[in-house]
Amino acid sequence: MTETGRIEPVYLGYRFGIYAAALALGATGAAASTLSEFQMRCLTPMIEVRESDTSGLSLIEDMAGRETWVAEGQDWHLSRASADAVVLFCAIHGTFGTEVDAFAETALASGDWVRIDRVPETLQSVFLREPLIEVEIDREGGSLTVIETNLES
């Protein structure tokens, strides 16, 4: 915690790591992998203001503002903002199930996130990290995305 009583971003990344571990115990197969990959490769790095994790992945597409990465033998892929992008984002595209509902409820209960009235379901950060970030849970499209907004806390 800081002197103002706010939680440090690195600590928040650790807290979300705990969420991932707890949720992975209750989920199985590809769905658990998709959520844990999102948290490890996209969400925690964005919270900690560092580049998304593409270690062990192969770059298959690099177009204006967007890169696509894959892991051999996996049923998910990662897309993220490229160096020339205006908006920073990172997403995991794949299959996920009810473990994402548990993740969202745990995040909301932590007080670190609020639900935004938007489709797809969107959680917005309220902790000390500027600019704010949002997590979009697109059940129909099969993606979990973290986006850096232009909003400040």
Report pLDDT digits (tens) over 107-133: 999 999 999 999 999 999 998 788 899
116: part of which helix (H) or strand (E)?
Answer: strand 113-116
Contact 27, 38 (CB under 8 A): no
For position 84, what pLDDT does the model report?
87
Instruction: Identify the residue whose tokens are 């593409």.
Output: 54
Is the separation of the CB atoms in 61 and 80 below 8 Å?
Answer: no
Residue 64 clears pLDDT 60, i.e. is over it: yes
Measured CA to CA, the distance from residue 152 to residue 100 in angstroms comes to 26
How does 94-122 read in b/e, with b if 16+ C-beta sit within 10 Å?
A: bebbebbebbbebbeeeebbeeeeeeebb
Q: Mean pLDDT lowest for which of 2-16, 36-50, 73-87, 95-109?
A: 2-16
Compute the radius of gyration of the chain from its Cα atoms: 15
Of the chain, the percentage scoring pLDDT greater than 70 comes to: 78
Q: Report pLDDT digits (tens) over 8-55.
A: 443 344 344 434 433 443 444 555 689 999 999 999 999 999 999 999
Task: DSSP letter for 29, please.
Answer: H
C-alpha angle 64-123-96 in degrees, rounded to nearest 5: 75
Entry pTM: 0.80
